[in-house]
Amino acid sequence: MEENMLTKIKVVAVLIIFALSGSLFASVGERPIPRSQWNRSIWEVSARSVIGEAGFGEDEEHGAIMWVYAKQYKRLRSMGKKVSFAMVVKQYSWAVKDRPDHPRPWLFQLHMGIKKKPADWPKGINWKLHRGLWRQAVELLGEWQKGNIPDLYPLATEFGGEMDIPRAKRFGLVRVVRINTDGNIFWRSK
């Protein structure tokens, strides 16, 4: 009960911060993707993706990743490609590509109503804490889909880690921001 309340307080705090800065961002209030592209399944895949790509408790980075996915979806659709938002997330996110050698198989065991620790959960990592952070990510993405989380980095169209820097340079991408010192780097086209 206390953990659930703490999670709700954190989500509300993030929403207040975003709301206070909302006048700076045109994207607030607009649905980032059509409602038809959002359901429980893609919500869970998206939450797994942002956790896998940025870690737990990284609300700002989670929102930024989702906005990059939305921009990729819109770009592909504007080119006449018949893609779904789910396809974009699954193709773009290394973290949700299910494979035998996946370093975090527990990601695929996370779902919205999860209570028990995933079978593959790492030893020594506090499940109760991370279950609350999982719920926080799920709630944040729900608010994002409703248009309540602004695009803080409207120029960012790509993201990746240190290993993606050579690819970004090869494609002529320009760094926009790195939210955390060890987090993803967000880029834009020249």
Average pLDDT rounded to a whole number, residues 80-107: 96
> Phi/psi of residue 75, each to 5°?
-65, -45
> What is the rounded average pLDDT of the residues 140-163?
96
Burial class (CB in 10 A: 0-12, 13-18, 19+), 180: exposed
Q: Quick one: how far is CA 148 from the chain centroid?
A: 14
3-class DSSP state of 42:
helix
Residue-level pLDDT at 29: 75
Concatenated DSSP letters for 118-181?
PTTPPTTS-HHHHHHHHHHHHHHHHHHHHT-S--S-TT--EEE-GGGHHHHHHTTEEEEEESST
Comparing CA positions, the residue from 73, 88, 70 lying closest to residue 27 is 70
Question: What per-residue confidence (pLDDT) applies to 22?
Answer: 40
Residues pairing with 187 in the sheet: 158, 175
Average pLDDT over residues 172-186: 92
- Give the CA dihedral 30, 94, 137, 155, nearest 10 degrees: -40
pTM, entire model = 0.85
| Angle value at C-alpha 155, between 149 and 157, nearest 5 degrees | 85
| Backbone phi and psi for residue 20, each to the nearest 5 degrees, phi listed first | -65, -30
pLDDT value at residue 142: 97
Q: What is the pLDDT of residue 20?
A: 43
Residues 14 and 162: their CA atoms lie apart, in Å, by 27
Domain boundaries, the chain: 2-153, 155-190
CA angle 59, 109, 69 (to 5 degrees): 40
CB 121 within 8 A of CB 58: no
User: What mean pLDDT is reported for the chain?
Assistant: 89
Distance CA 119, CA 146 (A): 32
